[in-house]
Structure formats: structure tokens, C-alpha cells
Amino acid sequence: MNAGVDAWDGGWYRAAQREPSPNFGARPPGALVDLLVLHSISLPPGVFGTGRVRDLFLNQLDVGAHPYFAQLEGVEVSAHFFIERSGHLWQFVDCDCRAWHAGASSYRGRANCNDDSIGVELEGLEGGHFEAEQYQRLLSLTQAIRARYALRYVAGHEHIAPGRKADPGPGFAWIALQKSPAFDGMQFPHQTMSR
């Protein structure tokens, strides 16, 4: 699919499987969407392909299905996109809206990163490796996002909420992203330059 603006239906990316989450809000007036935030998630941690991430973002997670889920009871979170291990792409929130993925955060001199970022969750374990299919999907998605939004920065959850979050972690291929044309000209966190 063309990575240009015709790849979009408003803030919905046509190549993604659309599954609207109730967990979103309006961006503040004048918000400039210029940050891409990358995360990792699996439910339960380290178990892939369960469909539970989707359930979490739709407020449908059965918290009694696994002991780990008890801590997620009542939690309302979302991300704009979720990339499964296979590379399958889901979209839960319109990119023109504010998804609830960053939490308490600060980056490039601004707080509340949810206000002006697009959040992408990759199915994986914090610190673990990610699949080639996920990176390929992330590259094509980033190109499409950049055709519509003025992205200038990319960071991990670990960079916008240091000490509180550590994902995607050391298994993530930051250097490969820096070398990709899809990320050309974007500013990466200084911590990733030596990895």
C-alpha cells in the first residue's frame, strides 16, 4: 500500500486491522504530533499470541484468567498501534486522538507525552528480542505515519519514563532503525547512539 496520505482514513491507517478502544481522548489544542514512542508488551509477560493485549486495550481482559492479570484490574490503557510477533498490525486509537500509552512522562523538554505522540506497542518481553516481521512492519508503518504527521523524534518508553519503565529494553535494535531510510532525519535518544 502507498505510504502516502491516501493510506489513511482520517487518523486511521488503512493497512491496520481497526479495533477502536474506548481508552482515548482529545489532544490539547495546538498539539504537534512529533514523537513516536515504542513499547513492548505481552500478556502474561513472555507469552505471545494470546489475544490478551487486544483484550486489555478494549477493557475486556479477564483478570481472573492468570495471576499476573490481577494487577491490571480497572486499568484503562491503549496504544495507537500493536504489532504482533507475526507482523500483523492492529490499530486501537485514531492517530488524531490521544492514546493512553505513555503515562507519567517527559521528553524533549515537554511533559505528558501522550499529548503529542503516537504509541506503538510491539509484542515482546522487555529486554528480549523482536522478530524480523515486526521490524519490517514498524518500518512501513513509520513511513506511513511520517507521510501524515511531522514526526521528528523517536524514543522508547524507557526514555520518556526512565526509572518507571524499561521497555522495549536492550534487545531492541535501535541501531538498525537509525540506519533505515524510514527513520532518516529523526532524532533518537542519546542513550541509543552507543548500542
The CA-CA-CA angle for residues 111, 195, 132, to 5°, reads 90
For residue 75, give the amino acid letter: V
Residue 158 appears among annotated catalytic residues: no
Residue 191 is predicted with a pLDDT of: 43
pLDDT at 44: 97
Q: Where in the sequence is the domain holding 11, given as residue range(s)?
A: 5-194
Residue bearing cell 552507543 = 194
- pLDDT given for residue 43 in this prediction: 98
User: What contacts 47, CB < 8 A, 6 or more positions away?
Assistant: none
- Of these residues, 121, 123, 126, 158, which one is catalytic? 121
The H or E element spanning position 157 is: helix 157-160
| Structural element, H or E, at residue 39 | strand 35-41
Sequence-distant (6+) residues with CB within 8 A of 134 are 83, 84, 85, 87, 122, 123, 124
Q: Write out the chain's pLDDT in tens, 195 residues.
A: 445 668 999 999 999 999 999 999 999 999 999 999 999 999 999 999 999 999 999 999 999 999 999 999 999 999 999 999 999 999 999 999 999 999 999 999 999 999 999 999 999 999 999 999 999 999 999 999 999 999 999 999 999 999 999 999 999 999 999 999 999 999 999 744 444
pLDDT at 190: 72
Instruction: Look at residue 110 in the predicted model and tell me its pLDDT.
Output: 94
If one counts the domains in the chain, the total is 1
Measured CA to CA, the distance from residue 72 to residue 116 in angstroms comes to 25
**Residue 66's pLDDT is what?**
97
The predicted model scores a pTM of 0.95
Q: Is 8 within 8 Å of 80 (Cβ atoms)?
A: no
The CATH number covering residue 156 comes to 3.40.80.10
Across the strands, what pairs with 35?
117, 153
